[in-house]
Structure formats: C-alpha cells, structure tokens
Copies of this chain bind each other. A is one copy, B any other.
Amino acid sequence: MRRELDLTVYLVLDPDLCGGIDGMCRVTESALEGGVTLVQLRAPQWKKRQWVDAARALLPLCRCANVPLLINDQVDVALAVDADGVHVGQQDLPAAEARRLLGPSRIVGLSASNAAQLAAVDAGVVDYVGVGPVYPTGTKPDASPVIGLAGFGELMRQKTLPAVAIGGIGPANAAAVYAAGADGIAVVSAICAAADPRAAAAALRALSHVSATPSASES
C-alpha cells in the first residue's frame, strides 16, 4: 500500500543553512551520493511559489537516487509537484486529512514529542513518526521541550510504527540514538552545514551499522 520507506539517514533541508534553492540542490546531490535514505524540504518562512520551485528542482535528484522527497507541512505543494509525501507536525493539517488528500500510496509522517502524542498516532494513517527533539536544536525555533536520550528510549519502547529521531543529532551522538531504538535519524545542520555533505551523510550512515545487534542469521 505504501511506498518503501527507509528512515536510516533522513536529511531535512534548511534553506538558510544550504543557501537557497541552488545550495539545497548541491547539498542534496552530494548527500544522496553519501547515502541519505530520505529527503525532506522544510522552509517555514517561504512563500509557496518558492516551495514549488525548490521541490521541482529537488525531485529529479531524489528520483534519480530512488530516494523519496517529502514536503514539510504544505500538503498542497506536495500535491502540486507530485512529491512522495509529507511530514506534518501536531499543529499542521491533521494527518488523517493529509492522508485523505494524498491518497494511500504517498508517505505521511507525523511529529510526536511525548507519550500522549505517540499513543494518539493512527497507524492506519501515518507511515512513520518523527520523535524529538532528542537534543537541543538551533534549527527549529518553535521546537518542543528536549526529550533527552533516556526519554527517547522510553518512547521507542512504546512505538508501534517506524520512528525517526530528530533534534541536535550528529556524528557524536548518532550511534547512541540508533542504539536507543531509532529506526533512523533526521538531521539538518549535520549535513546542510557540513563542509562535505557527502562525507557527512556517509559517516552517519556508517554509524547506523555500529549499533546494530549482531545476528547469527546475517553474515
């Protein structure tokens, strides 16, 4: 029913850190080479015409790498450009409305910052949850209170859907976040502000294996 979803290294594009649409494209192309598995466009200060222009520039890059491009909040933009889905927050369009507008085959992600929000997620509507902020973040001024790694681990034991961790995650703490039960990490500055986004993405992706529990059934 739903698109294949790999949350392992989830790049959230920030227009300021990337330097506008051209910068976003450069960062994305490089990060895709480095192995990011999902890309989200998030530009809350932008007018929709800019969202459309950016999404139309990013889509061919993501399609070429067979990586979905999600649109933050703006379901109409996602529909207009035929993006692969959306990520909505608790104050955005209700996830059920987003699902209804987008149909069954696109991806719908939902932010959850505490146990009550996580418990309220409808697994029939939502494909994954974004849980955080795990650590303090400078890229989302209206972020919820910091959860911390222990709190994040608690939420991971409660989850019924794939979960991506967000908020202040980078090479120094990624392995711990994966180990706490995250199916993936969402990063902004760790890739957008990196001197080499390809290397930054590859390094984060490598950390996803570090924490993997060895299994006798796998080589």
Quick check: B73 and A97 within 8 Å, CB to CB?
no
Residues on the B chain within 8 Å of A76, using CB: 74-76, 79, 93, 97-98, 101
Residues on the B chain within 8 Å of A94, using CB: 49, 52, 80
Quick check: B93 and A48 within 8 Å, CB to CB?
yes
- Inter-chain CA distance A201–B218, complex, in Å, is 73
Query: Provided the pairs A52-B97, A97-B52 are in contact, do residues A47 and B80 lie with their beta carbons within 8 angstroms?
Result: no
Residues on the B chain within 8 Å of A98, using CB: 76
Q: Indicate the member of A50, A91, A97 with the most B CB atoms within 10 Å.
A: A97
Which residues in A have some Cβ–Cβ distance to B below 8 Å?
A: 47-50, 52, 73-77, 79-80, 89-94, 97-98, 100-101
- Inter-chain CA distance A89–B50, complex, in Å, is 13
- Inter-chain CA distance A47–B100, complex, in Å, is 19
- Inter-chain CA distance A84–B165, complex, in Å, is 39
- Inter-chain CA distance A90–B94, complex, in Å, is 27
Closest CB in chain B relative to A85 CB, distance in Å: 13
Quick check: B52 and A80 within 8 Å, CB to CB?
no
16 A-B pairs within 8 Å (CB atoms) are namely A47-B91, A47-B92, A48-B92, A48-B93, A49-B91, A49-B94, A50-B91, A52-B97, A74-B76, A75-B79, A75-B80, A76-B93, A76-B101, A77-B93, A80-B100, A80-B101
